[in-house]
């Protein structure tokens, strides 16, 4: 049958009935004759947008979890076999790499990733002892990649809100080039309402270091963010960073677009708990910057709604979310 769909007027008329459709004959004819080039172009774009995990499957011993996939992405264009469980996320408001904490057999690859993408700032969202061992937790301690790199911890600073900053020196043994890297350790709970003040302080340190690099004319740097699996806490932190920069530079932010783009780049990232947590951080950041008053009834109501959402979305056995006021 080759009749066109017509608009329905009855109470049970579905959305499909409202679409001006082609008949099968018309569609086949258009796609195989005058519109064949467009058809091939559309098909090519669909294939390019399709997310694949072939490299994740082929590198099973380099992944922490078998149920947390990694979208295919060639991170070293000069080495097709190079693999780490990481993805890039480039925006007008920051260039990021989101990764899992390295395993003992991927520490060397993690150091190479840091060098390859000119990473000068690393945000670690676990306890320092759980970061993966690619930098030393003691002053003057070092981690060496045989005949390639040496990562030395120069100094350690215990900062406000429970954050620890490790200043490291990364040396390329082959070229004798050296770079200073700041590792910002901001232990973040996976469950419950995250400490928004702590998150804001981590953002401040990250931005301050990035601005210092720009003044020193160090360009095209990336910020590496990792937790354990490199998904939930990391995605929430990066989304918060992007949205806060949007507010600072444009006066507004786009939560859904930010999360959609992040989800396209990194598998297993967009859970409702993390979405609400990122919004909580952004709203509290606005209050701290005096963009909105902390005593504004609408602000307090919004934070209360977010707290209820977080209590509802938290995992079983997780502690209840505390009142927002405790996190300023």
pLDDT in tens, 137-170: 999 999 999 999 999 999 999 988 899 999 999 9
Per-residue pLDDT at 191: 75
Angle between helices 232-250 and 272-288 (to 10 degrees): 40
Q: How confident is the model at residue 24 (pLDDT cuts 50, 70, 90)?
A: confident
Averaged pLDDT for residues 185-199? 87
One-character DSSP codes across 121-160:
EEEE-S-GGGS-SSS-SSTT-EEEETTTEEEEEEEEEE-G
Question: Per-residue pLDDT tens for 42-74?
Answer: 666 656 667 899 999 999 999 999 999 999 999
Per-residue pLDDT at 1: 41
Question: Per-residue pLDDT tens for 247-264?
Answer: 999 999 999 999 999 999
Report the C-alpha gap between 171 and 177 in whole angstroms: 6
Domains identified in the chain and CATH numbers: 49-269 (3.90.190.10)
Report the C-alpha gap between 269 and 51 in whole angstroms: 14
Residue 201 vs residues 85, 208, 235: alpha-carbon distances, Å: 27, 10, 17
Q: What is the CA radius of gyration of the chain?
A: 24
Token pair in block for residue 209:
């270091």
Question: Per-residue pLDDT tens for 4-19?
Answer: 444 444 545 555 555 5
Instruction: Evaluate if residue 134 carries a pLDDT over 60.
Output: yes
Instruction: Evaluate if residue 319 carries a pLDDT over 50.
Output: no
Per-residue pLDDT at 45: 63
Q: How confident is the model at residue 314 (pLDDT cuts 50, 70, 90)?
A: low
Averaged pLDDT for residues 300-304? 91
């Amino acid at each position: 049958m080759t009749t066109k769909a017509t608009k329905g007027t009855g109470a049970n008329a579905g959305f499909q009935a409202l679409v001006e459709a082609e008949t099968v004959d018309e569609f086949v004819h258009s796609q195989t004759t005058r519109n064949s080039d467009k058809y091939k172009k559309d098909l090519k774009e669909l294939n390019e947008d399709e997310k694949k995990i072939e490299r994740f499957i082929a590198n099973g011993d380099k992944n922490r979890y078998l149920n947390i996939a990694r979208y295919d992405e060639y991170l070293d264009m000069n080495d097709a076999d190079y693999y780490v469980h990481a993805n890039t996320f480039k925006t007008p408001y920051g260039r990021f790499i989101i990764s899992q904490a390295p395993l003992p057999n991927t520490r060397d690859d993690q150091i190479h990733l840091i060098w390859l993408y000119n990473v000068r700032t690393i945000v670690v969202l676990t306890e320092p002892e759980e970061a993966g061992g690619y930098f030393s937790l003691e002053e003057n301690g070092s981690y060496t990649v045989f005949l390639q790199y040496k990562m030395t911890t120069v100094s350690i600073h215990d900062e406000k809100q429970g954050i620890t900053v490790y200043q490291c020196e990364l040396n390329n043994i082959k070229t004798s080039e050296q770079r200073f890297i700041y590792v910002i350790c901001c232990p973040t709970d996976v469950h419950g309402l995250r400490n928004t003040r702590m998150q804001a302080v981590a953002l401040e340190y990250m931005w301050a270091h990035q601005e210092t690099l720009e003044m020193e004319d160090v360009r095209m740097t990336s910020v590496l963010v990792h937790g354990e699996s490199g998904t939930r806490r990391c995605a929430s932190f990066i989304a918060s960073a992007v949205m806060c920069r949007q507010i600072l530079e444009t006066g507004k932010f786009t939560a859904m677009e930010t999360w959609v783009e992040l989800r396209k780049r990194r598998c297993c990232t967009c859970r409702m708990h993390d979405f609400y947590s990122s919004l909580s951080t952004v709203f509290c950041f606005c209050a701290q910057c005096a963009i909105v008053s902390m005593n504004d009834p609408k602000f307090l109501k919004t934070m209360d709604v977010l707290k209820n959402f977080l209590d509802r979305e938290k995992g079983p056995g997780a502690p209840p979310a505390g009142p927002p006021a405790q996190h300023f």
